[in-house]
Amino acid sequence: MIKTFTGPTSVATTKMMALRVACNLFAHTSSQGYIVGATCKSAIVDAIVAGLLGTEANVRETAAALAYNLSIVLPKEDTDATVEVVSAVQHAVQTETSSECIFRLLAALGHFAYANDDIVALLQGLETGLLLTRLAQDPSILQKTKALIAELVQLV
């Protein structure tokens, strides 16, 4: 059902509301099991990717929050979904201008990469270290984001 509301023909307010509803599903352990199930997980991953690639700032920020939520509950061995989201998140970090959104995206990358050598290798292949170094030097980046960047640099 989320695909219906986050598709390319949906208006930004509808996309954002659908993404927020999906974010709220993570608040309860009973719905977390449903989310990581094959059918729902695929729709959530598609919604995250579409949201992060969108032009509306509020939709991208909500998609970043959803990516963070997924990074917490998605099993480490679920490589396909993780690679797809991590690739989209890493790409979004390169183009995002909102400091708060960048913080959420980097927090999601950290959760996905923690104790997952495959994702660390992917991030290294995507030259995430160079991206993090560039971000750390940006004066518009929040201090909390710079602290997170320092931790991620050690990870990747």
Q: What pLDDT score does 115 carry? A: 87
pTM to 2 decimal places: 0.93
pLDDT digits over 61-77, tens only?
A: 999 999 999 999 998 88
pLDDT at 59 (0 to 100): 96
Per-residue pLDDT, 8: 82
For residue range 26-72, list pLDDT tens digits in order. Answer: 998 888 888 888 778 999 999 999 999 999 999 999 999 999 999 99
Query: What average pLDDT score do residues 96-106 get?
Result: 96
Which pLDDT score is estimated for 1?
A: 67
Count of domains in the chain?
Answer: 1
CATH of the domain at 83: 1.25.10.10
Residue 4: pLDDT over 90: no
- Backbone phi and psi for residue 127, each to the nearest 5 degrees, phi listed first: 55, 45
| Domain assignment of residue 88, given as a range | 2-155
